[in-house]
Structure 1
Amino acid sequence: MNTDSNNLSKSTTEKSSNDVDLLALVFVLLRGWKIVLFFALLGLIIGVLYSRYENPTYKSDALIQIDTTSQGVSALGSNISDLVSTDVSPAQTEALLIKSRMILKPVVDLLHLDIRLNDPSINALDKINSDRTHTQINTPEGVALKTADGQVQISQLNVSQAYLDQPFTLVKSGTDNNFTLSNGFDDFKGQLNKANYFRGTDGIIQITVNDLPDNDHPITIAKQSLQNTTDAINGALTVTELNDKTGIIQLSLIGSNQQQITLILKQIVESYIDKNKSRGSEETTKTLSFMETQIPLLKQKLEASEATFNDFRERSGSIDISQESGLLVAENSQIDAQINELKLKKADLTTYYTEEHPLVLQINDQLKVLNNRKQSIKSDIAKLPGTQREFLKLSADTTINREIYLTMLKNYEQLKIVKAGQIGFARIIDMPISTYRTIAPKKQLIVMLSILSGILFGILLVFLKSMLKNTVKDPDRLESKTGVPVIATIPRSSSLTRLGKNKKTPNRLLAYIDHNSLSYEAIKSLRTHLIFGMPEHGKSGQRAKVILISGESPGIGKTFIAANLSEVFAQLDHKILIIDADMRMGELHKMFNIEQNVGLADYLSQEDNESTTSQSITEYVHATGMDNIDFMPRGQHPKQPTTLLASKKFNDLMSQLSAHYDYIVVDSPPILAASDAIILSQYADKLLMVTRYNSSIERQLVYAINQLTKDHVRVDGIVMNDVQRGVMDKYSYHYSYAYGNNK
């Protein structure tokens, strides 16, 4: 054969196999549509219940701008700006600062956010029925919570460290103004609208209760620690910088009460702005404090130097100094001014940093250089005549002290103006407002996701069930697994299925109920296959040919096949005997409306001395009322059915019956339930295994056939019963050759 043809054939076969496997998965899914639908509806129910169980969640936003330039100080001139630092914290640093305890603690204290109230009478069903439940309201006046029996309101709760985060139960005592506070160990009695002070085993409790529900309605109350409270706030608070390096911070707070979260976020914004403003003016305040201590000292020093200089001039009169000496005095005066300015900067820096800070070390180096130059000038002045030296010294001291004093006084007045107009480097752009738009739960999305999850779970379960169960579906697969041909597929009869729901239906043969159906035609096709495959003479050498019908387990329809197969054989004017050899649970007698009391078990249980003539056999074989069909029921339930079938009496029975009938159809017990079929197989010319489509377990059928093979029993064919035809049934083509007026 051509190589290209081989490759093409192989590729086509692999593609067809892949298509079949994919199609098989689709059909498995379609057959399990009820399971998928069930879990989809279950997901829908869970989604709806969850969306009602969860309280609506709201969101409130605010915007703050962080200005990167100093406000107010730079406008007054470069000299004063040099005295006050202009560095500003970046927006990301400020975002982290907003979530700190320094900012949140004042909000917690103002709104009593560390007091938690809970209504223990509210359960899951109440949350589902009401769609939303009341939540506590925190205000500067206290904490309030609405209940079905009234409102609870607490204006104060302080406990010792040991009682933090421990729940207490509050109950109003009758109709008076008393209440009971308990934690399981201690019970305290208090009065409403009064500051109550209790001393318990673990410390003190201070509480002021303004109102409580009636009808002994319990309320759970707890005082949270500051850490847990701020952690809870931070869990609902989001602080981020909009875009990149914009300097604008967005604050977002979520919660189940729109007015509550708006109030809390507003207080957080105000707390941050207050802290920011105090931080901005702190530097100026410290500088002013330093100047206030230095100005009186500089004034005294200036007055002393002027007095000394005036005394010298009165004693010495007028003195003329050279130009070089004047330059030295001027330079010395400038150096003193620079030294004084650096000292001011150093004093300001040391209020924040240590002596080892790089900025402080840099100022120290500058002071060292200036002091060295000052010593050099002092040496040059020392070479002048004594009177001139004294004049220059006193004149320079007076000039320098005057300049230092005037500069300090000028800067002091400027800083006072700056402090009055200083507002910090953060300003509010948008304060939080109440929008009343729910952001969660997104009910439609939750329901859709729940349905999708249910569908996916249902699909997974269908595939898992299919993999674990692996029911009989594909005749080709059965033939490859067992090595036994599938000689017939019997479609399900819709008419018989409808009548089967009525337990009182007297006759269930297809000839009387659904004779125009595909099922009946398939039984006739099975008959044709058996006629052409049957030997001329039976195993016993007698007239009758024996067809043994069995299956791997109960409930597969072997009795249905045996009865209807006997009926279609009788149509050919063959004399048929059908034997119910399932002496344990046989129900073949119901197909023919005959009592099972006198049958096979009764015949085989006779004493050996009783007659076994043909005349006695006829007592156990009954006419069915249909032409050419006789029936031997199972009889009374015997003690040892298998032993009776293995007896010589049964062998003699089969020999006698074979002489009078053309075909004997034997309905035997299931292979996996009893070994009777192995014994009966020695009399059979054809052994058929009946299995039920999409019900029988494939590995059980394979195991049953293997058990027969081990005992040297040959299975001649498999009959697939109750095959359902439709869009979801891929293998319906196996019985498409059977046709009929399937009305």
Structure 2
Amino acid sequence: MSETNTIAPGKTGRQNDDEIDIGFLLGSLWDHKIFIAVLTLVFALAGLVYATLSTPIYQADALVQIEKKSGTIPGADMTEMLGGQEKDSETSTEIEILGSRMILGQVVDQTDLDIEIQPTTLPIIGDWLRRKGVTRPDFMEGHASVWGGETLAISELVASHESSTLKLSLESLGNGRYRLKDAQGNELGQGTVGEKLVVEEPWLELTVAELDAPAGATFTVIKKSRLAATNDLKSRLQIETQGKETGILNLTLQGPDRQELVKSLNATNQVFLSQNIARQAAEAEKSLEFLEEQVPKIREELNEAENRLNEYRLESDSIDLSAETRNALDKMVSIEASLNELELKESELARRYTENHPVYRALLEKKEQLMREKARLEERTDNLPETQQQVLRLSRNVEVNQEIYVQLRNRMQELRLVRAGTVGNVRILDDAVAQGQVAPRRNLIVAVAGVSGLLLAMVIILLRAALNRGVVSPEQLEELGLPVYATVPLSDSEKRGSGKRRSKPGGLRHDRRKKDGSAKSLLAFRNPADMSVEAIRGLRTSLHFAMMEGSSNRLVITGPSPTIGKSFLSTNLGAVCAQADQKVVVVDGDMRKGHVHEAFKQDAHGGLSEVLSGKLEFGQAVRTSEVENLSWVSRGSAPPNPSELLMQARFSEFLDYLSENFDLVIIDTPPILAVTDAAIIGKQCGTTLMVVRFGINTPKEIQIAEHRLATGGVTLKGTILNAMEKKAATSYGYYGYYYNYSYKSE
């Protein structure tokens, strides 16, 4: 003998459907921990597969130094006056030049980056197989896919297009021959490795340097425009400064081909170095051109000044200057030479800076100072005799022009040496080297994918828990004004057996073995000590007193929706009552989809529908079972009009027959929210109970079902909360009363 007791709950659960119980949500996560773990593992494995099959991306780097650049005219470089500001500006300028289309476009021309070859591979795993060097199997002979060791190299591809991308298909014909097609599949021509193929429309010239692939292997050849190839290179190139005010640049380039990365990055450095040298030499060339224009003019002015001085001396018989006049002349000549030198500097700075630049402003201030000093000297010489003043002026012009002429000649020689030996201010410290794979980062991808799976599983469970309005406690039913006659837990034995035999909700199993008329599949017969059976025994006791007030010995078991365990409760309640020496008959009132016959391992034909249609007598429809005092009536063959059959007088006569011959008539009816059969049957029975499935049926459904029965004239006696489970989501609160004790015979 077994007996199960319950403890009154300490508090009710989710009294307000609009409130979210944090403890319930956390418990729901724990209840579904296996689902969370499985989904997390699936996502992590998917991330691992993605990281493994993705094309690896490598990175190459190089180091370049931008040295301090001096001006082509001595003294013109005044960056030391500004500290490191000018150097930082110069480095930033060089970075922009290095990333410009002027530099990268030349790199594209030198390295053929405008030609891209894409081998045709198998879907998903084709690239991975090719990277691993897996050779073509025999059964793939003639297939368009490219396998490990099969290559194509193009030495020349010239097309007429300028801004658009040309896409071609090259198919190997074997023995070094190939067929060229356009994007639409039209054949453009056939060629041989090493020979130039000329196509007129669209015009192009193609020379294949190497083709190592069997017949059928196909490659996609893309001829990019120069601008598209340049922009692609620019998007992959990164330039960063190393340290502060060092002038050292770190160049990195990423891509799937390590050889192409090293080749492209080295070409970028060389093009940048060459243009820097050319730019420095160009500055010297411009300065030299300016000086070559000025030297003849200065020479002519010097000759004129000498002639005027000689003529004046002959006219005035004045040959020598006094000491005072000679001293003034030397100072004035020095000032004129300095002014002339500043003018040369100004001509160069005007090409590089604006007048507001600090270097340019410093030069102008120095020039104004010399002009003021020159003016003071001229005032002093105004007191000299007229002859001395004139000789002074003419001598000054001669000596100034002579000084300027010598300076220009010397500067021209310096510029010629600068132009011949220009090395630029760029120095390559480290050549390009492929450092290794930078993407995809396998560990990071697997971790992110696993966390994504974890979060997705948690979101799914939390959303289901938050949106779930199913009844999970007897108190919720009592708040609706419905007495709870029994709380039936989900059978442990049924849960253990679900791995071998799929169970219907509530414990009625689909067992398609031989239908031998056995009632051994009933839980009350198979495992009478089960907790569910003990709860049904408690229901038997409650019904004994409830049906005393009823008008008949007929009990209707209904529910709001299907698959909530009505048949399980009907059959096992019948078995439990039969074991208490009551003559019990269980009637399958669901003539559409009833399955009471499955509990007794027999067919459904020869049941209620045949009785109501007059094809079968009352006594012939009643079948006995192995359980003493327990009989049952199947649903019969599914009729087209079940509701109409139930409304006939023959159904009332059949119920009277059963009531006279049995102590208890239990009728399993269809869901009340689906059809009206339950209301029709309940109208002719004394007691009606509604089965509510734990966590499935909502309070709203129960209220509508009760209203539907009341509309049909049926008074609902109470409810049965079926298939209750003890979960972490509920054990912290309103499941403290759960079935905690079992008293079994030894």
Q: Same fold (TM over 0.5)?
A: yes
Distance 1:718 1:250, change over 3 A: same
Cα pair 2:482 2:718 within 8 Å, conserved: no
1:681: which partner in 2? 682
1:457: Cα distance to partner? 1.7
Aligned to 2:39: 39
- What corresponds to 1:142 in structure 2? none
Specify the alignment match of 2:563 in structure 1: 555
Q: Which residue of 2 aligns with 1:739?
A: 742
Matches within 5 A, 1:251-270: 251-270=251-270
Q: Structure 2: 5+ residue runs without aligned partners?
A: 1-10, 81-85, 135-144, 502-508
Aligned counterparts, 1:553-702, within 5 A:
553-592=561-600, 597-606=605-614, 617-635=618-636, 637-638=638-639, 640-694=641-695, 699-702=700-703
Query: Is the 1:149–1:214 contact (alpha carbons within 8 Å) kept by the matching residues of 2?
Result: no
Q: CA deviation at 1:215?
A: 0.9
Most deviating of 442-451 and 629-638: 629-638
Aligned position for 1:512: 525
Per-residue deviation, residues 411-442 of structure 1 (Å, max 9, x unmatched): 4444555556654333334333233x222111
Match of 1:333 in 2: 333
User: Partners in 2 of 1:33 and 1:286 — Cα distance?
Assistant: 79
Per-residue CA distance 1:558-608 (angstroms, 9 max, x = gap) = 22212221222223333333333333443334444566555444444449x
Q: 1:460 to 1:390 in 2, by over 3 A?
A: closer
Q: Match of 1:253, as an amino acid?
A: L
> Which range moved further: 441-450 or 386-395?
386-395
Deviations 1:217-260 (A, max 9, x none): 33222332232222211211111223544433222111222332
Q: CA RMSD in A?
A: 4.3
Q: 1:670 to 1:539 in 2, by over 3 A?
A: same
Map Cα deviations across residues 314-356 of structure 1 (whole Å, 9 max, x no partner). Answer: 7766645455544553454344324432432344345557999
Q: Is the 8 A contact 1:521 1:738 kept in 2?
A: no
What residue is the counterpart of 2:8 in the other structure?
none
- Cα offset, 1:110, TM superposition: 1.4
| Contact 1:295–1:409, Cα closer than 8 Å, also in 2 | yes
**CA positional deviation for 1:699:** 4.6
| From 510, 530, 535, the counterpart of 2:548 | 535
Residue equivalent to 2:242: 242
Matched, 1:59 2:56: no
Aligned runs of 1:694-713 on 2, under 5 Å?
A: 694=695, 699-713=700-714
Output the CA distance in 2 between the equivalents of 1:599 and 1:342: 122
Q: Determine the structure 2 residue equivalent to 1:291.
A: 291
What's 1:474 paired with? Answer: 473
- 1:51, distance to aligned residue in structure 2 (A): 0.8
Q: Quick one: which amino acid aligns to residue 587 of structure 2?
A: I
Check the 8 A contact 1:487/1:717 in 2, yes or no.
no
Secondary structure at the aligned position of 2:268 is classed as helix
Amino acid of the structure 2 residue aligned with 1:555: T
- 1:534 is displaced (CA, Å) by 3.2
Q: Cα–Cα, structure 1 residues 41 and 478, in superposed 2: closer, same or farther, change >3 Å? A: farther
For 1:434, what is the secondary structure of its paired residue?
Answer: strand
Are 2:554 and 1:546 aligned? yes
1-structure distance, mates of 2:354, 2:647: 111
Contact 2:24 2:730 in 1 (8 A): no
| Distance (whole Å) between structure 2 residues aligned to residue 532 and residue 629 of structure 1 | 21
CA distance in 1, matches of 2:635, 2:547: 26
Give the deviation of 1:649 after TM superposition.
Answer: 3.9
**Maintained 8 Å contact 1:237/1:252:** yes
Provide closer, same or farther for how the CA distance between residues 119 and 375 of structure 1 changes in structure 2, counting only shifts above 3 A: same
2:537 matched residue in structure 1: 524
Q: Is contact 2:709-2:715 (8 Å) kept? A: yes
- Offset at residue 113 of structure 1 (A): 1.4
**Residues 64 and 16 (structure 1), Cα distance of their counterparts in 2 relative to 1, 3 Å cut:** farther
Is the 1:491–1:725 contact (alpha carbons within 8 Å) kept by the matching residues of 2? no
Which residue matches 2:205? 206
AA aligned opposite 2:44: L
Distance 2:745 2:730 in 1: 17
CA distance in 2, matches of 1:61, 1:489: 72
Q: Which residue of 1 is the match for residue 170 of structure 2? A: 170
Distance 1:568 1:406, change over 3 A: same
Matched residue type, 1:485? V
Hey, what's the Cα distance between the residues in 2 that align with 1:674 and 1:121? 58
* Whole-angstrom distance in 2 between the partners of 1:639 and 1:84: 106
Q: How far is the alpha carbon of 1:36 from its aligned partner?
A: 3.2
Aligned residue type for 1:22: I
**Residues 170, 221 of structure 2: 8 Å contact kept:** yes
CA contact (8 A) 1:521 1:739 kept: no
For structure 1, which segment, 213-222 or 354-363, has the greater mean C-alpha deviation from structure 2 after superposition?
Answer: 354-363
Residues 507-549 of structure 1: CA deviation (Å, up to 9, x unaligned) = 222343111211221111111121233326x415xxxx22221
TM-score w.r.t. structure 1 length? 0.81
The aligned counterpart of 2:434 is 434
Identity of matched residues, %: 28
Task: Please give the secondary structure, in 2, of the residue aligned with 1:51.
Answer: helix
CA distance in 2, matches of 1:564, 1:351: 104
- Deviation track 1:391-430 (CA, whole Å, cap 9, x = no partner) reads 4344333322332223333444445555566543333343
Q: CA deviation at 1:99?
A: 0.7
| Aligned equivalent of 1:138 | none
Residue type at the aligned position of 2:460: L
Counterpart Cα distance in 2 of 1:194 and 1:599? 89
Q: Indicate conservation of the 8 Å contact 2:485/2:719, yes or no.
A: yes
Partner of 1:433, secondary structure, is strand
Answer with 704-713 or 62-71: which moved more: 62-71
**Which residue is equivalent to 2:76?**
82
Q: Secondary structure at the match of 1:409?
A: helix
Amino acid at match of 1:518: M
Could you tell me whether the CA contact under 8 Å between 2:117 and 2:221 is conserved in 1? Answer: yes
- Write the distance in 1 (CA, Å) between the matches of 2:248 and 2:290: 35
Distance 1:726 1:396, change over 3 A: closer
Aligned pairs (5 A) from 1:16-35: 21-33=21-33, 35=35
Moved more, 404-413 or 465-474: 465-474
State the one-letter code of the partner of 2:547. M
C-alpha distance in 2 between matches for 1:564 and 1:147: 66
Q: Secondary structure at the match of 2:215?
A: coil
The structure, 1 or 2, with the larger RCO (C-alpha pairs under 8 Å, 6+ apart) is 2
Query: Structure 2 CA distance, aligned partners of 1:493 and 1:226?
Result: 74
Asked if the contact 1:566/1:578 (under 8 Å) is kept, the reply is yes
Which letter maps to 1:256?
Answer: P
Cα distance change of structure 1 residues 714 and 84 upon mapping to structure 2, 3 Å threshold:
same
Corresponding letter in the other structure for 1:572: A
Is the 2:180–2:187 Cα contact (8 Å) retained in structure 1?
A: no
Cα pair distance change 1:105/1:458, threshold 3 Å: same
Name the residue aligned to 2:141.
none
Query: Aligned-pair distance for 1:724?
Result: 3.7
2:5 maps to none
CA contact (8 A) 2:318 2:387 kept: no
Partner of 2:461: 462
Instruction: State the one-letter code of the partner of 1:570.
Output: A
Residue identity opposite 2:562 in structure 1: P
Deviation per CA, 1:689-727: give whole Å up to 9, x if none.
Answer: 123335556654443223113334222222233334465
Distance 2:176 2:259 in 1: 33
